[in-house]
Copies of this chain bind each other. A is one copy, B any other.
Amino acid sequence: MSESSPKPTVFSVAARAGVSVASVSRVLNGLPASPAMARRVREAAEELRYVPDAVARSLKARRTQQLSFAVADVGNPVFVAMMRAIEQVTKAAGYRLLLHSTGSDRQVELDLLRSLAHGYVDGMILCPLRVTDDHLAVFSETAVPLVVVGMVPEGVPVDNVRADSRLGMRLAVDHLLSGGRTRIGFLNGPPDTVPGAARREGYEAALGRVGRPVDPALISSGGDFTHDEGYRAALRLFERRRVDALVCANDLIAVGAMRALAESGARVPDDVAVVGMDDTDLAQMCFPTLTSVSLGSQARGRMAAELLLGRLADPSRQPSRVTIPPRLAVRESSGPGEAGTIR
């Protein structure tokens, strides 16, 4: 390749400009200096194509200007939406963003949290699908500020952003009830996850609130929050019960369920209304378009990033907990006559 002259440093610039390294640093960082000095330094830096080394600067400053975002599955649309928001906010604040995929593996998450002690980032946003006691223990002794997105038990001193999926389920169920639906099935993801548990509780509470009994046979849980699992969970449910509505733990499951419905000859929304959750792009792209409860993925991402930046600015601040309210987006899949319905 080309003859590579050694990478320029403050020393080479200083030598070239005939000044001290201190002056180089000062000029380049905008500290007071005589115009003549400033000019000479700038010229020398220009000629040498000097660029300050980020690692050395980090070592000195004890800050990396890096944050990380750790998530179970990089491909999940909800996380993608959050990531976009986080990327925007952190970039605007001058931070680089690292991405970690944990596969929702408990040990991987714990190791990742502990690895923060290496100091390669200034803070982290974590989205755990399951929160064990080990997690809680580690949360309170992380080496750098941590923001947890998702449910965390009371009293755990960590910045926390959460969705209200219980209320979200209630919005969905109430919407279906007010549309005259009476046999409302529930397609869940893994019930042993934090969101899985919360959504099931929300479903049961929503029915209980209006005095309806909960029929366990109307609930079908899948092994994952995916399209295929939704499809299968729906088929299992149909073997047990006839339904006139389905609430689903997320949009992927809902779309899988709509396929199962189509194959079994049921029309959506005429025979069965369907409501998803997360309000991903998919909801607007599927057919019929999917009524879905937005849990504010973008807002949660933005808020998580802002909390993290806030704590970086003031490390002694009390941990805050923010809940993003859900919002129902009514579309074609949940029957006619509702506000916002298309055609």
Instruction: Tell which of A54, A81, A100, A101 has the most Cβ of chain B within 10 Å.
Output: A54
Q: Are A1 and B316 in contact (CB under 8 A)?
A: yes
Contact, CB under 8 Å: B75 / A80: yes
Closest chain B residue to A120, Cβ basis: B54
CB distance from A189 to the nearest CB of B (A): 16
Per the bound structure, the CA–CA distance linking A51 and B316 in Å amounts to: 24
Q: How far, in whole Å, are A258 and B52 apart by their CA atoms in the complex? A: 52
CB within 8 A of A83: which of B59, B74, B96, B255?
B74
Q: A54-B118, A97-B98, A98-B98 are in contact. Are A259 and B282 (CB under 8 A)?
A: no
Q: Mark A258-286, 1 if CB is under 8 A from B, else 0.
A: 11001000000000000000000110111
Interface contact B99-A99, CB-CB below 8 Å:
yes
A95 vs chain B, min Cβ distance (A):
11
The one of B80, B84, B100, B286 in contact with A286, judged by C-beta atoms closer than 8 angstroms, is B286
Query: A61 CA to B90 CA in the complex, in Å?
Result: 28
Whether A53 touches B259, Cβ cut-off 8 Å, given contacts A84-B75, A96-B98, is no
Chain B residues near A120 (CB-CB < 8 A): 54-55, 66, 96
Task: Flag A236-266 by CB within 8 Å of B: 1 or 0 each.
Answer: 0000000000000000100110110010000
Check A287 against B286 for contact (C-beta < 8 Å).
yes
Number of copies: 2
Please report the C-alpha to C-alpha distance between residue A287 and residue B290 in the assembled complex, in whole angstroms. 13
> With contacts A56-B59, A99-B98, A285-B286 known, is A84 near B80, CB below 8 A?
no
A97 cross-chain contacts in B, Cβ below 8 A: 98-100
A15 interfacial contact with B, CB 8 Å: no
Type the 1/0 row for A79-104, where 1 means its CB is closer than 8 Å to any CB of B: 01101100110010000111111000
CA of A282 to CA of B77, assembled, Å: 11
A292 within 8 A of B: no
Specify which chain B residues have a CB less than 8 angstroms from the CB of A281 in the assembled complex: 75, 227
Assess whether A58 is interfacial by the CB under 8 Å rule: yes
Besides A51-B143, A55-B59, A98-B99, 6 new A-B residue pairs in contact (Cβ under 8 A), listed by A number: A74-B84, A75-B84, A97-B100, A99-B99, A227-B284, A286-B287
Please tell me if A33 contacts chain B, counting CB pairs below 8 Å: no
Q: How far is the CB of A251 from chain B (nearest CB, A)?
A: 10
CA–CA, A262 to B342, complex, Å? 14
Q: Report the bound CA distance from A282 to B287 in whole Å.
A: 12
> A259's contact among B81, B88, B99, B287, by CB below 8 Å, is which?
B287
A55 to B62: give the CA distance in the assembly, Å: 9
Task: Name which residue of chain B comes closest to A262, CB basis.
Answer: B287
A197 to B4, CA, bound (A): 37
Q: Are B74 and A87 in contact (CB under 8 A)?
A: yes
A217 on the B face (CB < 8 A): no
Q: How far is the CA of A120 from the CA of B66 in the complex (A)?
A: 10
- The answer to the question of A119 belonging to the interface, with a C-beta cut-off of 8 Å to chain B, is yes
CB of A117 closer than 8 Å to a CB of B: yes
Contact of A53 among B53, B118, B255, B284 (CB under 8 A): B118
Which B residues lie within 8 Å of A66 (CB)?
A: 98, 120
Determine the chain B residues whose CB is within 8 A of the CB of A282 once the complex forms: 282, 285
Q: Please, how many angstroms separate the alpha-carbon atoms of A53 and B116 in the complex?
A: 10
Q: What does the 1/0 interface line of A275-312 toward B look like (CB < 8 Å)?
A: 00000011011110000000000000000000000000
